[in-house]
Chain A
Amino acid sequence: MAADTPPRKSIPTPLGEGTLNAPDFLAGADYGPPIRVLPDVNVIKIGGQSFFDRGRAAVWPLVEELAACAKQHQIILGMGGGTRSRHAYSIGLGLGLPTGVIAAIGSSTSLQNAHMMQMLMAKHGGILVSFEEFEKLPMFLRSGGIPIMVGMPPFHHWERPPVTGRIPANRTDAGVYLMAEFLGARSCIFVKDEKGLYTDDPKKNPEAKFIERITAKELLDMNPNDLVIERVVLEYMQRAAHVREVQVINGLKPGNLTQALNGDHVGTIITAP
């Protein structure tokens, strides 16, 4: 570097002097573990195609069950997209749009579902919470509200190109999981229309076997062609500080959600690593 290079104005810290990419970046510093931001909260993802698109037959009973559960538990809901997302993806992909635009498009369907869910839950305290209001969650929860959020993460045009295909790898499962992990949530439950995980898609293969409990790594190593939960969630779980267990349950069966919130095993439990 030339002698007349203008000097860097720096601030001394115990962090390494190289870039943030250097392996010794944290070596000189001894930071304790991260805190749990909202340790009592239970984050529940309502599937789009697998649940919400079934309409009142599926959703109305769940609304009542959620309202009853919210009396004992702090609950945040994250909404999936569903068949309208697929329709929009299908057209967008045909137009040759990049993944970032496809991701931005996907959020709108999830927002529609969040709006509808809020109208259904309003009388029980359902509130639609935008990303911008995220820091107000403690107030909403303390006043007995049930925050309802868009499941898609806010990545939009910044959604990275996936390894396979052009459909965003981070969709509503990932968004809801990442929110739970950041909050250090008590539990993260995925409400779908199957009991949980099978060795193949039970809707298409009657031979598919049910899996009660599995680690994220085992599941990735099995390298199944299809999965009940977005692949990236299994990758994130292995590096997670707090939410190292998620449960996939069949929300069509009344009582399952209540039991899962009470810590019972009613679907498939996936654990880290």
Chain B
Amino acid sequence: MTEIIKEGSGHRTHIKSPLMRESLMDRKVLTATDSEQVIPILPDVHVVHIGGASILDRGKDAILPLLDEVVRCRREYKIILGVGGGARMRHTYHIALDLGIPTGGLAMVAGAVNEQNRYMVQALLAKHGGVVLHKDHYVVLPLWLASGMIPILSGMPPYHYWEPPTGLDRVPYYREDFGMFMVSEVLGAASMIYVKDEDGLYTADPKKDELAEFIPGITAGELLARDLPDLIIDRSVVENMLHARNTRRVQILNGLKPELLGRALAGEPVGTVITAPKEDPADGR
């Protein structure tokens, strides 16, 4: 039976639990809540994020073949799609910064661009079961997946005005790549795949530097230590992989070669695979 504990007269009332009376800022208490693994909530689902600037801004010729591949793969795999922002988001940031809008305001308005992209992708996938997944409906996911739907999310995490300050960087740190990473992490998904317009990660931006070298595989710790000038995937993903309980492997592939998606879903490394092995001293916690 639940035990109610009162301290003195008219003082604190506690419900008996191991965290009762403890400070949740206390490291000893926090460490005691650690565990190697947490339960995977939907372990057979695959999270696939479609880049905004990299894919969606390229229009029909890039989008349609990729969505055909998504539909083909859906027969075999449960897929949740995320969509990025792209050029309009960049323009939103520019105008908002010029107006003096603080970081939380940028995060709040930026998501509308993802929503536009989400509506477009949903319209294209509707006949194949594409449905818009609002974050409030997150807990209804099992129903949609069981009925063969392809839920489509706006990639931005719902941090909105509460986006942590980013100092001189000004733009939100937690963006679409991170939002979809968290979907994969919380659900304990089978895989997290980022669909971009390059074969994967390079030592520099291959669009600007032709000497940039392709990196087929790297650990998150090594990648952060290399402090590369640009990254095709948001740094916040790589950093948070180090503390992840479920998603310690993500793959970046080239969506302009749509057939790669099916191979990646089958577990094949076809682009850049970033891992955060727990036994790696740089990556372990």
Using a CB–CB cutoff of 8 Å, the interface residues on chain A facing chain B are 1-2, 5-11, 13-15, 17-23, 25-26, 29, 31-35, 37, 49, 53-58, 83-84, 86-87, 89-91, 93, 95-101, 131, 134, 153-167, 171, 175, 178-179, 181-182, 184, 193, 201, 225-232, 236, 238-242
With known contacts A21-B235, A101-B186, A1–B34 Cβ distance under 8 A:
no
With known contacts A1-B207, A178-B163, A35–B101 Cβ distance under 8 A:
yes
Is the CB–CB distance between B138 and A164 below 8 Å? no
With known contacts A53-B13, A164-B30, A9–B231 Cβ distance under 8 A:
no
Question: Would you mind naming 21 contact pairs between A and B with Cβ atoms under 8 Å apart?
Answer: A1-B207, A10-B87, A29-B97, A32-B100, A35-B101, A49-B14, A96-B35, A96-B37, A99-B38, A100-B186, A131-B160, A155-B158, A158-B157, A165-B33, A166-B35, A167-B29, A184-B102, A225-B26, A226-B25, A229-B25, A240-B167
Q: Which residues of B contact A7 (CB under 8 A)?
A: 58
Number of B residues, CB within 8 Å of A: 95
Separation of A17 and B170 alpha carbons in the complex (Å): 17
Instruction: Please tell me if B116 contacts chain A, counting CB pairs below 8 Å.
Output: no
Distance from A92 Cβ to chain B, minimum over Cβ atoms (Å):
10
Is the CB–CB distance between A31 and B205 below 8 Å? no
With known contacts A5-B256, A26-B170, A239-B166, A154–B231 Cβ distance under 8 A:
no
> Which of B13, B23, B185, B186 is most buried by chain A, counting CB atoms within 10 A of its CB?
B186
With known contacts A86-B20, A86-B24, A160–B243 Cβ distance under 8 A:
yes
Separation of A98 and B31 alpha carbons in the complex (Å): 15
With known contacts A6-B58, A55-B10, A166–B185 Cβ distance under 8 A:
no
Is the CB–CB distance between B57 and A53 below 8 Å? no
With known contacts A9-B58, A90-B18, A153–B197 Cβ distance under 8 A:
no
Quick one: which of A17, A55, A98, A153 contacts B13, CB cutoff 8 A?
A55
Is the CB–CB distance between B179 and A158 below 8 Å? yes
Chain-A contact segment, one of B88-96, B124-132, B260-268? B88-96
Is the CB–CB distance between B12 and A1 below 8 Å? no
Separation of A57 and B208 alpha carbons in the complex (Å): 66
Residue interface mask B57-68, A partner, CB < 8 A = 1: 111111000000
Instruction: Please tell me if B213 contacts chain A, counting CB pairs below 8 Å.
Output: no
Is the CB–CB distance between B94 and A98 below 8 Å? no
7 A-B pairs with the lowest CB-CB distances in the bound complex, closest first: A182-B104, A57-B10, A165-B30, A239-B167, A100-B186, A6-B61, A86-B19
Is the CB–CB distance between A37 and B105 below 8 Å? yes
Separation of A175 and B164 alpha carbons in the complex (Å): 9
Distance from A19 Cβ to chain B, minimum over Cβ atoms (Å):
6
Q: Which residues of B contact A84 (CB under 8 A)?
A: 15
Separation of A238 and B167 alpha carbons in the complex (Å): 8
Separation of A91 and B175 alpha carbons in the complex (Å): 31
Is the CB–CB distance between A34 and B186 below 8 Å? no
Quick one: which of B93, B138, B246 contacts A98, CB cutoff 8 A?
B246
Measured CB to CB, the nearest residue on chain B to A14 is B94
Measured CB to CB, the nearest residue on chain A to B101 is A34
Quick one: which of A131, A134, A165 contacts B34, CB cutoff 8 A?
A165
Measured CB to CB, the nearest residue on chain A to B257 is A2
Measured CB to CB, the nearest residue on chain B to A18 is B230
Distance from A233 Cβ to chain B, minimum over Cβ atoms (Å):
10
Is the CB–CB distance between B205 and A1 below 8 Å? no
